[in-house]
Chain A
Amino acid sequence: MMKKRIPALMLAAAIAFSAAGCSGGNQPSESSTAPSGEPSTSSATAPDNDLVVAFNTDIQSMDPHNTTDTLSITVSRTMYESLVTFDENQEVVPLLAESYTAEDDNLTYTFKLRQGVKFHDGTDFNADAVIANYERCLADTTLRQNSRVAKWESCTKVDDYTVAIKLKEPNSSFINQFTQFQIVSPKALEEGLDLNKNAAGTGQYTFKEHTEGDHVTVVPFADYWGTKATVDSLTFRAVPEDGSRVAMLQTGEADYIYPMPTVQAAQVDGTDNITVGAVASNIMRYVTLNTNLPELSDKRVRQAMNYAIDKQAYAAVVFSGYCEEVLSCYPSTVSYYSEQTPYTYDLEKAKSLMEEAGYGDGFTLTLWGDNISAEQTGMQFVQQQLAQIGIDVEVLPMEPSTLSDMIYVDEDEAEINMWYVNWSASSFDADGSMRSILHSDMVPPKSANTAYFRNTEFDSLLDQAIKTSDPEQLTDLYAQAQAIVWDEAPWLFLGNDELVYGAKSYVSGITLNPDGSVDVTNAALAQ
């Protein structure tokens, strides 16, 4: 009898030990849960002058003309610069250019270039350098910048420090998209330097090393034309697991992490010298409603569904509060945002609209989405909310590539009912935030208008706006366009994610941009 009790006791001890480990990791925090904007200033000092930033993934490409993911963009911006860039208010400002002008024809843009700028390999920056980059992107169709420069008529040298770009047709989004056209040393391009393994830009930092799947390290460029970097080195680490990323911030192995998992944000804020902050993103969360379906072709049904969603509860349940209600079809961080009358949570109104449309007894729909856990929570939330007005939703989470295959099919084969998805235009322009997902030319398989939303008035407003450069006219055109989408409600408008980061209090000068890229050009560690 005695002998049998021993293993049981040991097992109990083992369980007690593991439980202690659990509670050790979950210290309650005394600080508030409210997201704060900037890392707080504190007297804490950094243990060294090497800045480590941890992300959830590794970069996809180091070639600045071939990047689409925000992390690759973040890293390439430390080493490369473009003629124009966004400031902290997402306004376009000159960078490698001193100034620029747009001609009245909305086709020609002239850039005065900054003088005395050197590339990392010692080459001078001038008009020839810009042209060499244009020629590279035009010639190589596998580069992701290729489709952008293919829309240019020409890129010509006016003098050594002036270039003129002429577009094939007017494009009010051009200057925003041009912020992503980074300049590589013409000498490196000529010599065929492998831009996936090396870098030669004009940026604040020069390339040191990249261990695939692990980290990229850059060090300050001694001959940088602007404010020089103050840290000794800057490392971007790939830390896929949320808990480990937070642990690295706690131990000081990382000085800044993004994304900070929202469920842990409140717990660690204020502990171990950690400040948690959040910024509004350019990410729009929505559910597309296939307007080709008989039930969803009725505007009243789509509006009823919007009234049936409690947006505050959505933000709390899915994002631990790090999500803002959005009052248009794109977030306020994008240009020409125009606020609409909210679909305030109102079940009575929703039910009466359903009655009016002849669907008082409801119907059944499927909801597709990615199979990652946060997305599934969101889908279940929508399911539960719509059940309140008699709509029986079947949630079907799918592996992303498989889902993508089911979305991009010919219209007569489309099986989509609803898609839980998000969209963000990295160029922060109104056209980029609407055209690919709402213009009637853009239904699958061509692009992602998965609501099969077709509104000729909306289409013509968008087509008119893209050819206009007058800000007042644009404000008016885009406001009308947004009003149409809001009223027609081809989507469930859910919210606008906030991006959450964690930083040690001795870190300053890092800005998290609304697109999830991180600007580290002014980063400093308190010594």
Chain B
Amino acid sequence: MGRYFVKRVLSTIPLLLVISILIFAFIHLIPGDPVRKMLPKEATQEEYEQLKEELGFNDPLPVQYINYMKGIFHGDFGESYKNGLPISEIFPARLKATLTLTLWAILWSVVLGTLIGIVSAVKRGKFLDYAGMVIATSGISVPSFWLGLMLIQIFSVKLGWLPTGQLDSWKGYILPAITMGCSIMGTLARYSRSSMLETMQEDYVRTARAKGQRESLVVLRHAFRNSLVQVVTVVGLQIGGLLAGSVLVETVFSIPGLGRLMVDSINFRDYKVIQALLMFFAVEYIVINLIVDLLYGVLNPKIRYD
């Protein structure tokens, strides 16, 4: 496993280089540049050309790329064209907001989602199964934007129990975390249900029952543990998506997270911020996939890494 780990980590280096070139090329290929937005609208063409030159946008793209990469190797991701702040300062606060929210959303949705999945599988075809699947399907199909606004209307405006967003206190996390976690809860409930149903048919489950083991033990120790491989795959993919920031949830609840930063930066053509964000998302996906692959071995010792 140690060798496998080292091999995987080393293989990411060329991958990241290729990704960085692709990102750089694509961002600069889309029309528009930040210079117009940086200048007052009365600015003349001369002022535009001057600023463009100063920012180095007139250099050939490969030169711009090399300058950019040089900066990165010195730990300097550059500054935002929009507000002049160094990216190394903007990023941590934004990441913290997204990360905290993601954790809360994942936490409740994984617990509730798998629970619904297990119960639905065990009570297959009964009322609880249907109820669980209605909740799961609603969770997946309700648009998060709409759900967020509804929760604000009910719990903030009508009842006055919770703030409309802003992560100033723990209360601020509740509504966004619910909104964010809903579709994951639903997806997980469905996956864990079908995965449980499959394992419940396995011979070893029948054997365990035949040995006279208690049903709860059969379900949790034999069936659930073996269905976890699929669940972990789904959770891994979902976390990857959530860490890229949910633009809609962050917008509805006025949370300064990575998703909103990404959209704002694209609108402004804030190249350096976009590049830094995309690189981070790439690394993040690679790391999460690695963790998921390693977890497979922990959950199912039959899986080997050769």
Question: Measured between C-beta atoms, what is the minimum distance from A6 to chain B in Å?
Answer: 5
Enumerate chain A residues within 8 angstroms of B93, measured Cβ to Cβ. 211-213
> With A244-B149, A244-B164, A244-B165 in contact, is A432–B83 under 8 Å at CB?
no
Contacts of B82 in A (CB 8 A): 60
Across the interface, name the chain B residue whose C-beta is closest to A146: B47
Verify A3–B125 contact, CB threshold 8 A.
yes
Contact indicator B153/A25 (Cβ below 8 Å): yes
Q: Which of A122-130, A246-254, A383-391, A476-484 contacts B (4 or more CB under 8 A)?
A: A246-254
Q: Which residues of A contact B142 (CB under 8 A)?
A: 18
Any chain B CB within 8 A of the CB of A22? yes
Interface locus among B126-134, B195-203, B226-234: B126-134
Q: Is the CB of A237 within 8 A of B36?
A: no
| Cβ-defined partner of A63 (8 Å) among B84, B131, B133 | B84
A238 within 8 A of B: yes
A294 within 8 A of B: no
On chain A, the residues within 8 Å of B37 by CB distance are: 401
Interface flags, A6-26, vs B, CB<8A=1, else 0: 110011001000100110110
**A147–B50 Cα gap in the complex (Å)?**
11
Q: Which residues of A contact B85 (CB under 8 A)?
A: 196-197, 212
CA distance A10 to B261 in the complex (A): 39
Bound-state Cα–Cα, A419 to B157, Å: 40
A196 to B82, CA, bound (A): 12
Instruction: Specify which of B83, B125, B158 is in contact with A24 (CB 8 Å cutoff).
Output: B158
Q: Nearest Cβ distance between residue A243 and chain B, in whole angstroms?
A: 5
Given A14-B134, A21-B150, A244-B149, also A239-B156 (CB < 8 A): no
Residues on B with beta carbons closer than 8 Å to the beta carbon of A144: 39-40
Contact A401 to B253, CB < 8 A, known contacts A14-B134, A211-B93, A243-B149: no
Q: Which residue of the partner chain A has the closest CB to B50? A: A141
A197 to B89, CA, bound (A): 11
Give residues of chain B (66-110) contacting chain A, Cβ–Cβ below 8 Å. 82-85, 89-90, 93-94
A197 and B261 CA atoms in complex are apart in Å by: 19
B3 at the binding interface (Cβ < 8 Å)? no
Which residues A41-71 have CB closer than 8 A to chain B? 58-61, 63, 66, 68
Task: Kindly list chain B residues whose C-beta atoms are within 8 Å of the C-beta of A399.
Answer: 32
Contacts of B154 in A (CB 8 A): 21, 24
CB distance from B6 to the nearest CB of A (A): 38
Binds B, one of A164-172, A330-338, A402-410, A455-463: A402-410
B254 at the interface (CB under 8 A from A): yes
If A14-B134, A436-B42, A447-B45 touch, does A241 touch B31 (CB 8 Å cutoff)?
A: no
One of A18, A241, A404 near B252 (C-beta < 8 A): A241
How far in angstroms is the closest Cβ of chain A from B99? 15
In the complex, which residues 237-254 of chain B have their Cβ closer than 8 Å to any Cβ of chain A? 251-254
Candidates B41, B47, B83, B153; contact of A247 at CB < 8 Å: B153
Q: Is B178 an interface residue (CB 8 A)?
A: no
Closest to B145 in A: A241
Asked if A349 lies at the interface with its beta carbon under 8 angstroms from chain B, I say no
A163-191 interface code vs B (CB 8 A; 1 in, 0 out) = 00000000000000000000000000000
A66 CA / B79 CA spacing, docked (Å): 15
For residue B272, CB closer than 8 A to chain A, the reply is no
- B48, B130, B267: the one contacting A7 at CB < 8 Å is B130
Which residue of B32, B47, B264 contacts A402 across the interface (Cβ within 8 Å)? B32
Main secondary structure of the interface of B (DSSP, over half): helix
Question: Which residue of chain B has its CB nearest to the CB of A63?
Answer: B84
B45 touches A240 (CB 8 A): no
A29 contacts B by Cβ under 8 Å: no
Would A6 and B130 be within 8 Å (CB), given that A196-B85, A447-B44 are in contact?
yes
B51: interface (CB < 8 Å): yes
Nearest opposing residue in chain A for B151, CB measure: A21
Decide: A250 and B157 in contact? CB cutoff 8 A.
yes
Complex: A24 Cα to B36 Cα, angstroms? 43
Q: Is A364 an interface residue (CB 8 A)?
A: no
Q: Is the CB of B134 within 8 A of A11?
A: yes
Chain B, 21-59, CB within 8 A of any chain A CB: 30-33, 36-37, 39-45, 47-48, 50-51, 54
* Partner pick for B157 among A14, A25, A212, CB 8 A cutoff: A25
Among A197, A211, A251, point to the contact of B256 (Cβ < 8 A).
A211
A174 smallest CB distance to B (angstroms): 14
Which residue of the partner chain B has the closest CB to A441? B44
How far apart are the CA atoms of A138 and B52 in the complex, in Å? 19
- A196:B84 contact, CB within 8 angstroms: yes
Q: Given the complex of chains A and B, what is the CA–CA distance between A142 and B85 in angstroms?
A: 14
Residues of B contacting A404 in the complex (Cβ-Cβ under 8 angstroms):
32, 36
Q: Does A214 contact B (CB under 8 A)?
A: yes
Q: Which B139-187 residues sit within 8 Å CB-CB of chain A?
A: 142, 149-150, 152-154, 156-158, 160, 163-166
> What are 22 sample pairs from A and B whose C-beta atoms fall under 8 A apart?
A7-B134, A10-B134, A11-B138, A18-B142, A58-B256, A60-B82, A66-B84, A68-B41, A147-B40, A196-B85, A212-B85, A212-B93, A213-B90, A213-B261, A214-B256, A243-B152, A247-B164, A251-B157, A405-B31, A445-B45, A446-B44, A447-B44
Chain B residues within 8 Å of A, Cβ to Cβ? 30-33, 36-37, 39-45, 47-48, 50-51, 54, 82-85, 89-90, 93-94, 125, 127, 130-131, 133-134, 138, 142, 149-150, 152-154, 156-158, 160, 163-166, 251-254, 256, 260-261, 264, 267, 269
* Residues of A bordering B, CB below 8 Å: 3, 6-7, 10-11, 14, 18, 21-22, 24-25, 58-61, 63, 66, 68, 141-142, 144, 147, 196-197, 211-214, 237-241, 243-244, 247-248, 250-251, 253, 399-402, 404-406, 408, 423, 425, 432, 435-436, 445-448
